[in-house]
Amino acid sequence: MPELPEVETIVRGLNQAIVGKRIKEVKSNFPSIVKQDFDLFRKAILHKRIKGLRRRGKYLLIDLSVGKTILVHLGMTGNLRWIKSNNFPSESLIKGEGCVKQGNKHDHLIIKFYATNFELRYKDLRKFGRIKAFDSGKEKDIPELKKLGPEALNLTSSQFIKIFRGRKGRIKSALLNQKIIAGLGNIYADESLFEAEINPEQKPDKLCPEKLKRLHKAILKILKKAIRAGGSSVENYFNIRGEMGNFQLQHKVYGREGKPCKRCGTRVKRIKINKRSSFFCPRCQS
């Protein structure tokens, strides 16, 4: 699932590509990807101008003129592509082997704009994403957004310590809870815990303020490095131009079960925490 760095990369790319452009046409070959009546959704955004894009947790928000906002969650396999009309990349194009000029059955939403021959396409192999439009002034009432905790990148050290100190359960589960802190997912929780030398099964209420401070610093470091690298392309993530991210090349533990720890050489271990895989070094994170 795309996490904070991947969504942030898409937001920054689209801010350069579509801000100021006006929506000319909205089509879908799978209207159910829009979590409201599709005709009402289309009418709500048609002919509106793009004012700007921003991120809230793992959600992408597209602000339009006349007080409308489009919410996009990429689910497990969703991605947004800014692509020349009638020039549809196949998987081989991403590998640099050519182009197929035909539609793709997984392109579930197509938005065309005035005065450009490029269009925005939402592709989602597993169809777990969600898209909807709402009145911008009612953002605090949107169910997907009102339950989110503070942004991971915006917390100060003291705020972070206050949130996690004394909390029950396991630290990995707490980091993944979007109601506690917004934006972190499996990849960046594992990488941050490794950076801070904290075991994913450790209980937050057993962590002293100094260790929590170290974890907060690690989260900021890892997220910022991942954003600079364009995110992690582990399975289906690509940026708006179909390019892979590069942060997967810097992973220290995530996806490296059985491989030597890059810090001490001990083999990386994988365990399940709340049915989610967690990768860690049993020596560095003892």
Residue positions annotated with a catalytic role: 2-3, 58, 276
Is the CB of residue 213 less than 8 Å from the CB of residue 227? no
As a whole number of angstroms, the distance between CA 68 and CA 134 comes to 6
Burial string for 205-244 (b: 16+ CB within 10 Å, else e) reads: eebeeebbbbbbebbbebbeebbebbbbbbebbbbbeeeb
Phi/psi of residue 67, nearest 5 degrees: 70, 35
Q: Distance of alpha carbon 45 from its chain centroid, rounded?
A: 23
- Owner of token pair 């182009």: 99
- Residue 156's contacts (CB-CB under 8 Å, 6 or more residues apart) are none
* Residue 182 CB contacts under 8 Å (≥ 6 apart), including other chains: 4, 56, 57, 58, 148, 149, 150, 151, 152
Amino acid at 166: G
The residue written with tokens 């929506």 in the block is: 23
Can you tell me whether residue 282 is helix, strand or coil?
A: coil
Rg (CA), the chain: 20
Which residues lie below 8 Å from residue 46, measured CB to CB, with a gap of 6+? 23, 25, 26
How many alpha carbons fall within 13 Å on the CB side of residue 43?
A: 5
- Edge-to-edge strand order for the sheet containing 107-113? 23-27, 107-113, 118-124, 78-84
In angstroms, the CA 75 to CA 124 distance is 8
